[in-house]
């Protein structure tokens, strides 16, 4: 990695990257939504509480982590690990959408200067058009 790449990677704003990833993935054809999970909610709450404890006991003890509904980003030594949880449209292949989500996220991450560790995509729901129920 050149010093220029290192400088750009160290200046990456994970909050902004999470926003960009969330918007791009949500707008991708076949993605219904980024799926909130218990894990993403806990991951979103936990870093702020744990970070406060770590700052007083051991600064820099925990790698930077940002969580949103359907996204968890974690950086260690300029390597980003990403978890994406999606709900998809039944009209599209879940496997194809997972691959497309990985490619889309990978391109956005690489543009920041970070190295990609892994991008895990989990399809948590596959939804079709709802059909009206007849009156009872």
Q: How far apart are CA 133 and CA 129, in angstroms?
A: 12
Are 105 and 84 in contact, with CB atoms under 8 Å apart? yes
Instruction: Look up residue 124 and give its two tokens.
Output: 């948590």
d(CA 84, CA 106): 12
Q: Tens of pLDDT along 23-61? A: 999 999 999 999 987 655 565 565 555 555 555 555 554
What the block records as the tokens of 91 is 């009209």
Q: pLDDT by residue (tens digit) across 56-76?
A: 555 554 568 888 899 999 998
Residues in the chain: 136
Backbone torsions φ then ψ of 16, nearest 5 degrees: -65, -40
Please check whether residue 32 is in contact with residue 127, taking contact to mean a CB–CB distance below 8 angstroms: yes
pTM of the model: 0.73
pLDDT in tens, 93-102: 999 999 999 9
- In this structure, what are the phi and psi dihedrals at residue 30, rounded to the nearest 5 degrees? 100, -15
């Amino acid at each position: 990695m050149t010093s220029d790449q290192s400088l750009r990677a160290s200046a990456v704003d994970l909050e902004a990257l999470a926003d960009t990833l969330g918007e791009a993935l949500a707008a991708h054809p076949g993605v219904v939504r980024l799926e909130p999970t218990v894990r993403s909610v806990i991951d979103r709450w936990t870093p702020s509480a744990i970070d406060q404890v770590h700052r007083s006991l051991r600064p820099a003890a925990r790698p930077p982590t940002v969580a949103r509904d359907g996204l968890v980003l974690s950086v260690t030594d300029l390597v980003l690990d990403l978890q994406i949880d999606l709900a998809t449209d039944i009209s599209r292949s879940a496997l194809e959408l997972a691959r497309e989500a990985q490619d889309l996220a990978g391109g956005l991450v690489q543009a920041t200067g970070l190295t990609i560790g892994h991008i895990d995509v989990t399809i948590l729901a596959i939804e079709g058009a709802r059909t009206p129920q007849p009156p009872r």
